[in-house]
């Protein structure tokens, strides 16, 4: 049976959980080895994108099906769900940025593949703009109270370009105007 990079990746994927098992050096070796095989890098990009989409679907499903029992004082349940969704997306983005830097040598093609995967699952959530608006609003309120650090502003902006269907709600429009002033 001839060797196929696709069949090798299928064995490694095991439901696209391979990124959870492999760490920096292992992924770096895979990246360098698969780069030597025709279409190996593209197949690896597809696997990484599928992994992100699977994680994103899990994040979307989790926020749509779960309820939060305990929230901060005065935080409505809907806002708490929105904050958790954005935080989960930001955590995944941080993890993928680390993998991109450590294992994939900051490859532009991998970066584009990762960004497209984020666009895909974020756009599947119809409440994404509302969630991002609530997250930024909440962080700005906490920042004015001195609770939040400057890192939160940067992280919220990290995922906002991924939402392509610009169908702004009044809150998002007002927030954008507030941020520009």
Residue 76 to residue 111: CA distance in whole angstroms: 36
Are the CB atoms for 30 and 44 separated by under 8 Å?
yes
Please classify residue 172 by burial: count the beta carbons closer than 10 Å to its beta carbon, then call 0-12 exposed, 13-18 middle and 19+ buried. Answer: buried
Chain segment 86-99, per-residue pLDDT in tens: 999 999 999 999 99
The pLDDT value given to residue 143 = 63
State whether the Cα torsion 30-100-80-71 is positive or negative: positive
Chain segment 136-178, per-residue pLDDT in tens: 888 888 765 655 555 544 565 566 666 544 343 334 333 333 3
What separation in angstroms does the CA of 140 have from each of 1, 2, 90, 160? 59, 57, 17, 16
Which residue segments constitute the domains of the chain, with CATH numbers given?
A: 5-180 (1.20.1310.10)
Residue recorded with tokens 């994404």: 128
The pLDDT value given to residue 178 = 35
pTM confidence score: 0.73
């Amino acid at each position: 049976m001839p060797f196929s990079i696709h069949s090798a990746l299928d064995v490694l994927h095991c439901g696209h959980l391979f990124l959870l098992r492999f760490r920096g050096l292992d992924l770096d070796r895979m990246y360098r080895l698969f780069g030597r095989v025709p279409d190996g890098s593209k197949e690896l990009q597809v696997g990484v994108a599928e992994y992100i989409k699977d994680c994103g679907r899990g994040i979307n499903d989790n926020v749509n099906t779960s309820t939060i029992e305990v929230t901060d004082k005065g935080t409505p349940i809907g806002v708490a769900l929105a904050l958790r969704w954005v935080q989960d997306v930001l955590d995944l983005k941080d993890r993928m940025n680390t993998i991109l830097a450590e294992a994939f040598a900051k490859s532009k093609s991998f970066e584009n593949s990762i960004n497209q995967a984020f666009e895909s699952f974020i756009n599947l959530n119809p409440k994404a703009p509302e969630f991002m608006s609530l997250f930024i609003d909440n962080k700005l309120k906490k920042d004015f109270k001195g609770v939040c650090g400057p890192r939160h502003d940067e992280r919220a902006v990290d995922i906002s370009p991924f939402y392509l269907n610009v169908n702004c709600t009044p809150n998002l429009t007002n927030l954008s105007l507030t941020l520009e002033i």
